[in-house]
Amino acid sequence: MTPEDCLNLHELEALGRAELLKAAHPSVLDYYLGGAGDERTLRENRSAWAQWRLRPRMLADVSSVDTATEVLGLPLSSPIAVAPSAMHGLAHPEGECAVAAAAAAAGSLMTLSTLSTRTLEEVGTAAGGRWWFQLYLYRDREVSRALIQRAQAAGARALVLTVDAPVVGRREAMLRRPLVLPAGLELPNVGPRTTGQESLTHLAYFDSLMDMTLSWRDLEWLRGVTDLPLVLKGILTAEDAALAREHGAHIWVSNHGGRQLDGAVTAPEVLGEVVAAAGDREVYVDGGVTRGGDVLRALALGARAVFLGRAALWGLAAGGQAGVARTLQLLEEELVLDMALCGKTALSQLGPDLLRRAP
């Protein structure tokens, strides 16, 4: 079976998981799949989009459906993009470069994790300007400053500060079977000490580098380092959305794929309140997206773009760049189909009137 044979993201996940089990230590699958605590949020993320039912309109001439949009001034062919996830080299030898190339070829964009296995410059080249850099802020600000400046020089279009991980969530699958990194896997943005197998057990070493004191005040420091647009990833309330707006940041609604605070609200529950509080700031979303209908619901709730976490990883494991390309293609095709069936021909026509909460 190849990615081309897969008819939907569930089949791509099955293929990606099978390939990963053949090629990598079983702890890698635990790492990719796992959530925090009892994994309630992880499970709820998958079903949460269905709480919104669709109110289709008829007789709308849907002979041509356009999914083009713009994020932070960058034109996208599709509102479906790639979220940051750590260590793509565990899934495929080309790692983040394969994901960046697939996203760029689709006219989309990828977000590169601080915990990448390829350098900022390599990814910048593969992405052709279609990428954002995700930052975990280090205690050692000079290390963070250098990374941000290198990302900007390599063509990153925005800085995404992850705000929901001042500490790593309690991921029990990883406590039972600690992540084993293959010899030679590099984490160029973390430093040479993390290339040994033990040093990343439970992500403890990385955790120890992170700045737990991170607060709204630090946004001023970031503003002094870069003039890139700033996106705060991990916002889940109207209160924090309002603060993000006051600080001039854009907003990424996310519960980190259920990997941080177990019991946290899901994106479809809170997207409406966040959008209302965001004013003129752009709002993005991730979590549990597996169907074009999920994307449609997110856009109707006011998100400007929808990001894929695990789905992109399964595509990568299933077939490298071709697997990620197939993931993006299938979801885009489903989005176009659902838009047509709802009587919509452009993203600007999607709004809350398309939705009704399921009883």
Ligand X SMILES: CCCCCCC(=O)C(=O)O
Instruction: Return the active site residues.
Output: 256
Q: Is 203 in the site for ligand X (CB under 6 A)?
A: yes
* Cα Rg of the chain (Å, integer): 19
Using CB under 6 A, which of 118, 233, 259, 291 touches ligand X? 259
* Contact of residue 168 among ligand FMN, ligand X, none (CB under 5-8 Å per partner type): ligand X
Q: What is the DSSP string of 214-228?
A: --TTHHHHHHHH--S
Give dist(CA 124, CA 55) in Å, integer: 41
**# residues near ligand FMN by CB under 6 A:** 24
97 touches ligand X (CB under 6 A)? no
Query: DSSP characters for 68-128?
Result: -EEETTEEESSSEEE---S-GGGT-TTHHHHHHHHHHHTT--EEE-TT-SS-HHHHHHHHT
Q: Which stretch binds ligand X (CB under 6 A): 41-49, 204-212, 284-292, 295-303?
A: 204-212
* Burial group, residue 64, by CB count within 10 angstroms (0-12, 13-18, 19+): exposed
CB of 334 to ligand X, least distance (A): 26
- The whole-angstrom separation of Cα 76 and Cα 69 is 5
User: 310-341 vs 9-23: helix axis angle to the nearest 10?
Assistant: 170
Q: How far is the CB of 184 from ligand X (least distance, A)?
A: 20
Residues in contact with 169: Cβ distance below 8 Å, sequence separation at least 6, in sequence order:
35, 36, 37, 256, 259, 260, 261, 262
How near is the Cβ of 133 to ligand FMN at its closest, in Å? 11
Q: By CB under 6 A, what part of segment 319-348 binds ligand X?
A: none
**Interaction between residue 308 and ligand FMN (CB under 6 A):** yes
Backbone angles phi, psi at 161, to 5 degrees: -95, 120
**Residue 160: enclosing H or E segment and its boundaries?**
strand 159-162
**Residue 32 touches ligand FMN, criterion: CB under 6 A:** yes
The only residue of 15, 86, 91, 316 in contact with ligand X, by rule CB under 6 A = 86
Question: Do the beta carbons of residue 127 and residue 100 sit within 8 Å?
Answer: yes
Q: Which of 78, 113, 152, 266 binds ligand FMN (CB under 6 A)?
A: 113
Residues 297/357, Cβ–Cβ less than 8 Å: no
Decide: is 86 part of the binding site for ligand FMN (CB under 6 A).
Answer: yes
Furthest CA-CA distance within the chain: 62
Of 88 and 256, nearer to ligand X (C-beta) is 256
**For ligand X, which residue of 82, 159, 165, 271 counts as binding (CB under 6 A)?**
165
CB-wise, 33 or 158, nearer to ligand X?
A: 33
User: Is 233 near ligand FMN (CB under 6 A)?
Assistant: yes
Could you tell me if 110 and 103 are in contact, meaning their C-beta atoms sit under 8 angstroms apart?
yes
Q: Which is nearer to ligand FMN, 102 or 342 (CB)?
A: 102
Q: Which of residues 98-117 bind ligand X (CB under 6 A)?
A: 115
- Which of 28, 81, 83, 156 binds ligand FMN (CB under 6 A)? It is 83
Site string (170-209) toward ligand FMN, x via CB under 6 A: ----------------------------------------
Q: Which residue is nearest to ligand FMN, using beta carbons?
A: 309
Residues near ligand X, by CB under 6 A: 86, 115, 165, 168, 203, 206-207, 210, 256, 259
Residues near ligand FMN, by CB under 6 A: 31-32, 45, 83-86, 113, 115, 134, 162, 233, 254, 256-257, 259, 286-289, 308-311
